[in-house]
Amino acid sequence: MEDKRSLGARTLLFPTPALVVGSYDADDRPDVMTVAWGGICCSKPPSVMVSIRPSRLTYANIMLHRAFTVSVPGAAHVREVDYIGQVSGRDADMFAVTGLTPVPAGSVHAPYVGEFPVALECRVTHVVDLGAHTLFVGEILDVKADATALDSEGKLDIEAIGLVTYIPGLERYFGLGPSLGKAFEVGKAFRSG
């Protein structure tokens, strides 16, 4: 064990996801933004959290409609994910620029990205102002997935999809690495029972 050095108060955690949040504005125009501050936060009801600055169009949209989607990209769309993270829907039609397709969610009033392999449809249940960001909790009402994103057993085919992870502190995206083993199995070596 090494002695550790202090780096100060920083948002240094890895991996983080690269998620695209979809919403409609007041005129029902589809908007998207990329967030790395997000993740699953409850198993029952199944819920996801995303943190968004109040200055963002997406913030206003979610406050208005109390609904959003989370589109989960595969590795093929890292350029689109990065672009969507750079531009505001107030300044550009990101769907037109990227050629991605806004698809109306079936269970909430929000659009998802048709070309991404997986999308979560969410109804806002909690809004928590944390400072620079507001944390939105969304109950996941449905998950939509491409058939090609699933294997023959209906499980996620992560090797076909690839993934995009964002590493804070490096500001760099990485893809899927090797399997490190099955959860609830690889740690069994420590159990004496």
Q: Which is nearer to its own copies, 25 or 146 (CB)?
A: 146
CA distances, 92 to each of 33, 57, 84, 168 (Å): 12, 12, 10, 26
Query: Does residue 156 sit in helix, strand or coil?
Result: strand
Query: What gap in Å lies between CA 187 and CA 173, rounded to an integer?
Result: 28
Whether the Cβ atoms of residue 148 and residue 57 lie closer than 8 Å to each other: no
Question: Shortest CA distance to 22 belongs to which of 14, 12, 30?
Answer: 30
Q: Shortest distance, CB of residue 26 to its own copies, whole angstroms?
A: 25
Q: Shortest distance, CB of residue 41 to its own copies, whole angstroms?
A: 5
Q: Which is nearer to its own copies, 62 or 103 (CB)?
A: 103
| Phi-psi map region of 39: left, alpha, beta (phi>0 left; psi -120 to 50 alpha) | left
Q: Shortest distance, CB of residue 65 to its own copies, whole angstroms?
A: 19
Q: Shortest distance, CB of residue 145 to its own copies, whole angstroms?
A: 6
